[in-house]
Amino acid sequence: MTIEELKPILEALIFVASEPITEEELVRILPEVDRASLEAALGALRQEYEADGRGLELRRIAGGYRITTRPEYHDYIRRYLKTRPSARLSMAALETLAVIAYKQPITLPEIQEIRGVNSARAVKTLLEKRLIEPKGRKPVVGRPILYGTSREFLIQFGLHDLSELPTIEDLEELGSEGS
Amino acid sequence: MDDWLDRLEEIPPREPECDREPPHRYMVKLDVFEGPLDLLLHLIKQEQVSIYDIPIARITEQYLEYLRRMEELDLTIAGEYLVMAATLIYIKSKMLLPRDPMLAPEAEGEEDPRRELVQRLLEYQKYKVAAERLWSKAEREQAVFTRGRLETDEANSEVNATLFDLFRAFQRAMERLKERRELTIAREEITMAEKIAELRALLEREERVDITALFEAARSRRELLILFLAVLELVRIAVIRLVQTERFGRLLALRARALAEIMA
**Which CATH number is B234's domain given?**
1.10.10.580
| Contacts with A89 from chain B: Cβ below 8 Å | 138
- Is A18 close to B157, i.e. CB distance below 8 A? yes
Residue B101 DSSP one-character state:
T
Report the distance separating Cα B222 and Cα B55, nearest Å. 59
Q: Which residues of chain A have pLDDT under 70?
A: 176-179
- Is A117 close to B78, i.e. CB distance below 8 A? yes
Tell me, yes or no, whether B123 and B155 share the same domain: no
Q: Rounded mean pLDDT of chain B?
A: 76
* Domain residue limits at B24: 2-99+107-142
**What SS3 class is residue A132?**
strand
Tell me, yes or no, whether B169 and B253 share the same domain: yes
Report the alpha-carbon angle A165-A168-A173, nearest 5.
110
- Rounded to a whole number of angstroms, the distance from the CA of B60 to the nearest CA of chain A is 17
Domain ranges of chain A: 3-80, 91-178
**What SS3 class is residue B20?**
coil
Highest mean pLDDT among A43-57, B191-205, B228-242: A43-57
Distance, first Cα to last Cα, chain A: 57
Question: Phi-psi category of B252—alpha, beta or left, where left has phi over 0 and alpha has psi -120 to 50?
Answer: beta
What is the mean predicted confidence (pLDDT) over B108-134? 88
Tell me, yes or no, whether B118 and B188 share the same domain: no
Beta bridge partners of A59: A66
Closest partner residue to B141 among A92, A99, A157, by Cβ? A157
B10-39 b/e (C-beta count within 10 Å ≥ 16 → b)? eeeeeeeeeeeeeeeeeebeeeebbbbbbb
What is the mean predicted confidence (pLDDT) over B141-145? 89
- Rounded to a whole number of angstroms, the distance from the CA of B132 to the nearest CA of chain A is 8
- State residue B104's pLDDT score: 59
Report the distance separating Cα A36 and Cα A3, nearest Å. 10
pLDDT-based confidence at residue B116 (cuts at 50, 70, 90): very high
Residue B76 touches chain A, beta carbons under 8 Å: no
Report the distance separating Cα B138 and Cα A155, nearest Å. 10
pLDDT of B198 over the 90 cut = no
Report the distance separating Cα A133 and Cα B93, nearest Å. 44
Tell me, yes or no, whether B126 and B43 share the same domain: yes
| Contacts with A65 from chain B: Cβ below 8 Å | none
B212-229 b/e (C-beta count within 10 Å ≥ 16 → b)? bebbeebeeeebbebbbe
| CA closest to B37 among chain A residues | A116
Say yes or no: do domains A3-80 and A91-178 share a fold: yes
| CA closest to B77 among chain A residues | A117
Tell me, yes or no, whether B20 and B124 share the same domain: yes
- State residue A124's pLDDT score: 94
pLDDT of B130 over the 90 cut = yes
Closest partner residue to B34 among A72, A92, A101, by Cβ? A92
- State residue B14's pLDDT score: 42
- State residue A25's pLDDT score: 94
pLDDT tens profile B77-109: 778 899 999 999 999 998 888 766 666 555 555
pLDDT of B207 over the 60 cut = yes
pLDDT-based confidence at residue B19 (cuts at 50, 70, 90): very low
pLDDT of B165 over the 50 cut = yes
What is the mean predicted confidence (pLDDT) over B51-72? 90
Cα distances (Å, whole numbers) of residue B183 to A157, B9, B170, B191, B221: 49, 54, 20, 21, 12
- State residue A73's pLDDT score: 93
Tell me, yes or no, whether B220 and B121 share the same domain: no
Tell me, yes or no, whether B80 and B166 share the same domain: no
pLDDT of B257 over the 90 cut = no
Tell me, yes or no, whether B43 and B71 share the same domain: yes
Closest partner residue to A114 among B124, B134, B142, by Cβ? B124
Number of Cβ within a 10 Å radius of residue B143: 17
> pTM for the full model?
0.66
| CATH code linked to domain A91-178 | 1.10.10.10
Closest partner residue to A18 among B38, B51, B149, by Cβ? B149
Tell me, yes or no, whether B157 and B246 share the same domain: yes
Contacts of residues B73-77 at CB distance under 8 Å and 24 or more positions apart, as own/partner, are B73/B30, B75/B30, B75/B31
pLDDT-based confidence at residue B151 (cuts at 50, 70, 90): low
pLDDT-based confidence at residue B28 (cuts at 50, 70, 90): very low
Closest partner residue to B124 among A68, A71, A115, by Cβ? A115
| CATH code linked to domain A3-80 | 1.10.10.10
What is the mean predicted confidence (pLDDT) over B55-72? 90
Q: At what angle do helices B56-72 and B36-46 cross, to 10 degrees?
A: 120
pLDDT tens profile A74-108: 999 988 888 777 778 888 999 999 999 999 999 99
| CA closest to A169 among chain B residues | B126
Number of domains forming the structure of chain B: 2
- Is B140 close to A158, i.e. CB distance below 8 A? yes
Contacts of residues A160-167 at CB distance under 8 Å and 24 or more positions apart, as own/partner, are A160/A60, A160/A61, A160/A62, A160/A63, A161/A62, A161/A63, A162/A101, A165/A101, A165/A102, A165/B130, A165/B133, A166/B130, A166/B133
- Hey, of A14, A18, A161, A176, which one would you mutate to test binding to chain B, going by the most B CBs within 10 A of its CB? A18
What is the mean predicted confidence (pLDDT) over B45-56? 91
Tell me, yes or no, whether B13 and B56 share the same domain: yes
pLDDT-based confidence at residue B262 (cuts at 50, 70, 90): very low
Tell me, yes or no, whether B8 and B122 share the same domain: yes
Tell me, yes or no, whether B56 and B132 share the same domain: yes
